Each structure stands twice: as C-alpha cells, then as structure tokens.
Amino acid sequence: MIKRLKSLCGEIHFSTLLVCGGCIFPVYRSHPEIADMLREKWAFAVILIMLVLCVQTVLRGKLWHIDMNKILKTFVLVGIIQITIAFLQLIGIIPSFHQFFRFTATFRNPAIYAMMLTLCLPICIFYSINSVDKSRYKWNILIFLLTLWIVISESRASMIAAACSSFAVVYFESSRFRNIMSFRRIWFLILICGIIILIGLYFYKRDSADGRILIWLVSLKMIATKPIFGWGEDGFAASYMPYQAMFLQENEESRFAYLADNITHPFNEFLLLAIKYGILGVVVLFGIIALIAVMIRNNRGKYMSLHIAILLTVIILSMFTNAFTIPIVWICVIFVICLVVSEYCMPAPKRRLTMAMLLLIPILLILFNNRNILSELRWHNSQKSSASVNEVLDEYRRIYTHLKANASFLYNYGALLHYNGFYEESQDILIECTRFYDDYNVRLLMADNYKQIGEVSNSIETFEYAQAMVPCRFLPLYHEMKVYEDIGDSVNACHVAKRIIEKPAKIEKSPSVQKIKQEAKMLVCRLDCK
C-alpha cells in the first residue's frame, strides 16, 4: 500500500496540483460568493506561477524541467475524481452543488463539469493509441466513461469539442487512420455526418439554441455600432440588455420575445472580445492563435497532437459557451502556450522576449484584479454580519470608496439600501451601477425606488423598460398594474391587467405566474373592466 501511495505521489507534479486544485472552490458552500471571488484570484496566481517556472527554465538555457507524463496523468486523475463525485451525486450519496441539477461534480453546473472532462478525453485517447501493453484497456475504459458522462451532461458544446479534439488526436497519432482519411469520399462522408449531427443537436434543445441565436444577433448589432475599438471592458454588461430591449421592440412578433432572458455573457468568447475591444482585439487574438499554430507546425514534438487537441477544444468551447469564465480553461490554455514557447524552436533572444511578454500580461491582470481584494473580503464579510442595519450600511459606505467601479458591489449596495427604505440613496447607487452593469433586475429595483419616492411616471416608464428587456416575464407588468391601481387610474390598470391575462406564459404551471394572472382577473372583475 505504501509503495503504491509513493508511486501515485510520484506521478503528481506540484504545479499540476495547483492547476487542478481550483476544482474544489465550488464546494465551499458556507460562503459561496467568497469561493467565487477566490477562484478567480487563484487562477491568476497559478498562471503566474506557471509562467515564472517557464521563464526560469528558458533563462537557464534548457527546457522546462517537468515530466509531461506526470502532468497529463494528473489531469486524468482529477477527471477520474470528478467522475466519481458526479456518480455519487447521481445516486444521492453526495448532494449536488446546484439545486436544479442532480450532478455537477465540484463545479457550478454539468456544463462546466463536461468542459473539464472534454479537456481530459484527448489525453486518454493519446495514451490509448500509444500504449503497447495491457494498460491500453484501462485507457479505453476511461475513454468510455468520459464520453458517457459528456453525453449525460447534455452539453452540446462539449460534445462537439470532444468529437473534434478526439478526431485530431487519432489523426495525428495513428498512421493507419491517416491512410484511411486520405480518400476524398471519407472526408465528404464526415462532412455530411457532421451536418446531420449539428442539425440534430440544434433540434434536441431548440429553444436553448434559438436563445443563443438571439444573443448573438443582438451582440452583432452592438459590434456594428462600435466596430473598431469596441465598447470597453464593461461594455457588454452595461449595454447588452438595453440593446436586447431595442431589438425585441423592433421584432415584437418574433419567437425570440419568449426566449429572451436576463443575459450576462454572450456565450461566445469571440463575440465578447469584439464587443469589448472591437475588430482590433479580434485581430490580436487571431494573430496569437496563428503564431501558436505556426510554432506547432514548425516543430512536430511528441505531444503535438495534444497541443492541437486542447487548443481546438478551447476554441470550440469558446464559440458556444462562456469558457473563459472557468479557471481550468484559462490554465489549460496558458499551460499549452508556455509549453509551446519553451519547447519549440526559436532563437534564444526571441524566446526570451516572447516569454517576457507572456509573463507581463498575467502580472498586469493579477495587479488589476487583486488591487481591491481586502475591500472585497470586507464586503463579503459585511453580507454575513449579524450587526445592525445601520452598522452594515456604514461599512458599505466606507467600502464604496474602493469598490465604486465594481458592478456587483454597486448592485448589492443599491439593493440593500432599497430593502431598508433608503430609496433615494439606493437610486443614486443603482444609476451609477448602470454605467457598468444594466439589466432587468437593476431596472426593477429602480422602478420600485421611483414608486416609493413618488415619481410615478418614471416608475411606470422603468417597469415598461424592464418588461422590454425580458418580454416573457410577468413581474414588471404586475407591478405596473399595482402602481395604476394605487393612484386610482382604473383605465390603465384594466389595460395592463388584460395584457397580463392574455399574455402566454413560458411555463404555464408556474405558481408565481398563476398567482399574478389570478390577481389580474380579480382586478378586472372588481373594476368591471370592459
């Protein structure tokens, strides 16, 4: 047993433990918001450590002194642990970390869990192809389990990424497969099968797919408005929902109106980059991708297929998900880039310059993201504080000086002021919040603030604006109906009540929707609306 434990420890590299250890943050359930904050800080710290190690070895004039087998097998080990946890959640031994999903492993939802497995799958295929002993069947079992769980997760992006990355590894590692693929008919057959599968995946969850299409259409309109330099770092969060409201008002009869939701990410990292930094940002990104591709092509190393597969996986996931909000994705990308730069042929001066540039980027990101970490900890501690409301608000006012550009803090601060009756102060904070983040929930709070301070017309206008952002919701119309009823405007109250009654519900059996519709019917009867 001791020998086996020593052998296992020998297969685990320190830096890889740091890489994979971030998977545990979501299990920190007592303070999940702190876990979310720490996960981001941890990711940047790991990236910095990896780059420092890489630069250190380059300056010494030799390759990065790590065993790739250890690192790759450690990634697989983490994948096995995640599968085990997901299975225990599925059979009810361990609770899921999301109330709506039976399994999530140690992540927030099954889609992120599937991303992790998708990054492990090509590694297992690589070892399966290159195994010459009885260990091959073990890798094949892992391949089966990884594929099964990716399918069970129902993540279409992960399915597509897994298929493409697996194909890449098999193509570059198997000469027999390459010979088969030399026939044009095979490529034509693969193209036809790929199109059929994509169509099938679209209709498998059509509403979800159409929802993504809506987001992409609105995002393209934003890009068209500011194509060169983009909207800036907070551009998407601050402007997407107003643009969605405008788009849906222009297409009132569209099916999209009942698929729209409150959106914080376009589910396409390339679109997000174009919105934030314009065409210039996209050009820089594709320049980096092209540079990495050229470096891989110029020096066909032992792990070339895995470099290609991992980068291909990340690119595909980035096209359909919010991949770069997941630390493990960031780390895989940086890991591959570091390995490519440190291992592949490049004159020493150029290699050192490239490394210096790669190192500078995360340093700047770390400094930017961590400059207010103490204030963020004070904020999260205040949320859990048992002190009086006035004491908590005093602490928020002190923290505000340091976090006045943090959209999450501003929204939380505005909401806290609202629910404790400081409506005018809350409104000032929420108006400031819209500079960085503007959505349905912000507008609902603002509308109620207007109502409480007696600005009825502004309240009604803001409720209508919130309704335009997410037309399938009933709450803005309900509150608008109540405002008209409170001021004695029976004509408009009846009009809004009829809108509520006639409005089709996204989920007809929703208790909250049924309650709202029932109150609207009672108002129509009480006021004898015609």
pLDDT of residue 8: 42
Residues in Cβ contact with 214 at an 8 Å cutoff, skipping those fewer than 6 apart:
244, 247, 256, 259, 260
pLDDT of residue 12: 45
Residue 127 pLDDT greater than 70, yes or no: yes
| Rounded-to-integer distance, Cα 105 and Cα 97, Å | 8
| Rounded-to-integer distance, Cα 337 and Cα 80, Å | 25
| Rounded-to-integer distance, Cα 95 and Cα 92, Å | 6
pTM over 0.95: no
Q: Where in the chain is the domain with CATH 1.25.40.10?
A: 373-527
pLDDT of residue 326: 76
| Rounded-to-integer distance, Cα 447 and Cα 222, Å | 26
Residue 348 pLDDT greater than 50, yes or no: yes
| Rounded-to-integer distance, Cα 415 and Cα 439, Å | 14
Token pair of 51, please? 């780059």
The residue behind tokens 């991303």 is 115
| Rounded-to-integer distance, Cα 33 and Cα 16, Å | 25
Token pair of 240, please? 């997407």
Residue 362 pLDDT greater than 70, yes or no: no
3-state helix, strand, coil in the chain (%, to 5): 75, 0, 25
Residue 414 pLDDT greater than 90, yes or no: yes
Instruction: Read off the pLDDT of each residue in 344-350 and give the average, rounded to a whole number.
Output: 55
pLDDT of residue 411: 93
Token pair of 114, please? 């599937």
pLDDT tens for 428-485 read 999 999 999 999 999 999 999 999 999 999 999 999 999 999 998 999 999 999 999 9
pLDDT of residue 142: 93
CA 519 to chain centre: 38
Q: Share the mean pLDDT of the chain.
A: 81
pLDDT of residue 338: 65
Compute the Cα dihedral for 99, 100, 105, 108 and give only its sign: negative
Q: What percent of the chain has pLDDT over 70?
A: 78
| Rounded-to-integer distance, Cα 129 and Cα 52, Å | 33
pLDDT tens for 223-245 read 999 999 999 988 999 999 999 99
Q: Does domain 373-527 have CATH number 1.25.40.10?
A: yes
- Exposure class string for 108-137: b at 16+ Cβ within 10 A, else e: bbbbbbbbbbbbbbbbbbbbbbeeeeeeee
Q: Which of 6-20, 435-449, 495-509 has the highest mean pLDDT?
A: 435-449
